[in-house]
Structure 1
Amino acid sequence: MAVKWTTEDFDVFTIPGLEQRMEALTEHVRPKFEELAKTYTTYFTSKTGIEFYPHIARHARRKVNPPIDSWVAFAPNKRGYKALPHFEIGLFESHVFIILCAIYEAPTKKAIADNLLNNLETVKALPHSFFVTGDHFDPKGTSLNEAIEDGTLEKLLIRLKDIKKGEFLIGLQIPREEAIQLSGEEFEEKTEETLEELMPIYRLMASADLS
């Protein structure tokens, strides 16, 4: 079943209190992540020839502060995704995101950064409407177009390589006003277009090793 976003989904992130927000997240948003998990686990497995597994954010470590975003992640490991390059589909209060991530837990992130720096033209060939960020808590990021023009793209990749907490996330943001206007089929089409664009970058990330 195709996922249709509503105003109520985004408004979950305005609810005060950890327990109350988590209840609303579980009720309104998590069933949609479960649908996305079914659809895109099959998609990634067929595209890569490697078995992918879905990981729906549980926010289990949170004791006080309610989450400002939530997501379903996809990676070729049943036990976890943070140590691997992975895809995420999720939302902040302001937008839906469809992204490819290398976060600070990835032991191969230096090699990932080298692979991307050595193939910078492949990254620059992505739609310039995409965004990049070096922090998975950053809801805004920088447009890829701007990041290419002012050198932020290279700086983020060098930071990924040299700084322990360095991260690199790239993909599409769909503002909530636009997302709630999309039918489930239109969202699915936009998601698949985005993932197709990101797949060559994923292959560069996934081919990085510790040697």
Structure 2
Amino acid sequence: MTFTGFTKEDFDVFSIEGLEPRMEALIATVRPKLESLGAQFSPLLTSLTGDEIFPHVAKHARRTVHPPKDTWVAFAADKRGYKKHPHFQIGLWGTHVFVWFAIINEAVHKKEIAERLKAQQTQLLGNLPAKFVWSMDHTQPAIVETFDPQMLERLGTIKKAELLCGQTFSKEQAIERGDRLSEDIEAIFSKLSPLYEAVTKWPVK
């Protein structure tokens, strides 16, 4: 399946009441698009990072009561999983699409990752587009528009701290972009790949 863009129906999935009905709709409408994005962008990210990158589409398998409020495909250099590693994400809430480079709470070596980002902070942040935004909790839709150095302090010292960077598109923007959203994602990943290199490649430049 070729990615043709997100539609109103995709975002409406998150308004469906109940775990089973929402999951049925998500599996039928959204998941095939995430799978196609996974197949499309894992080769690009492999090329950008120099690591073999594998896609991981969220299954929400552990949920027994509460329906998912968002869903995604993650990309990591580990065929078995992504949560412990610096990784990339494409996904959506009922309100917007997100494209992230992510260090989430389950990541290992967060102190070292934070130190590497600090060491290259000026160069890395200077090369990021002004429209890029930040998140400190992947389980919430809220974003932070301006980088704060305290984000790196938290990442290195607080066990559950997270740091995500990238770009979001409102529901309306994503629908309007259609299949052209793929071009936007490619450009975003190209700009985010230096962050991945900074925290995964030795020695630090």
* TM-score interval (norm. to shorter): over 0.9
CA contact (8 A) 1:53 1:78 kept: yes
Whether the 8 Å contact between 1:156 and 1:168 is mirrored in structure 2 is yes
Residue 37 of structure 2 corresponds to residue 36 of structure 1 = yes
State whether residues 133 and 167 of structure 2, in contact with CA within 8 Å, keep that contact through their aligned partners in structure 1: yes
CA contact under 8 A between 1:3 and 1:35: conserved in structure 2? no
- In the alignment, residue 133 of structure 1 is paired with which amino acid? S
CA distance 1:11–1:208, change in 2 (3 Å): farther
Aligned to 2:193: 199
Deviation at 1:18, TM superposition (A): 0.8
RMSD: 1.4
Amino acid at match of 2:31: R
- Structure 1, unmatched stretches of 5+, are none
1:121-200 map, 5 Å:
121=122, 122-143=124-145, 147-148=146-147, 153-184=148-179, 186-200=180-194
Offset at residue 208 of structure 1 (A)? 7.2
The two structures have a TM-score, normalised by structure 1, of 0.91
**Which 4+ stretches in 1 moved above 4 angstroms?**
none
Instruction: Name the structure 2 match of 1:78.
Output: 79
1:27-46 CA-partner distances (Å, limit 9, x unpaired) = 00000011101101111112
Q: Counterpart amino acid of 2:97?
A: V
Contact 1:74–1:86 under 8 Å retained in 2: yes
Q: 1:207, 1:35 → 2: CA distance? A: 28
% identical equivalent positions: 44
- CA positional deviation for 1:61: 1.1
Q: Is the 8 A contact 1:133 1:156 kept in 2?
A: no
- Aligned position for 2:23: 22
TM-score, L = length of structure 2: 0.94
Q: How many residues align?
A: 201
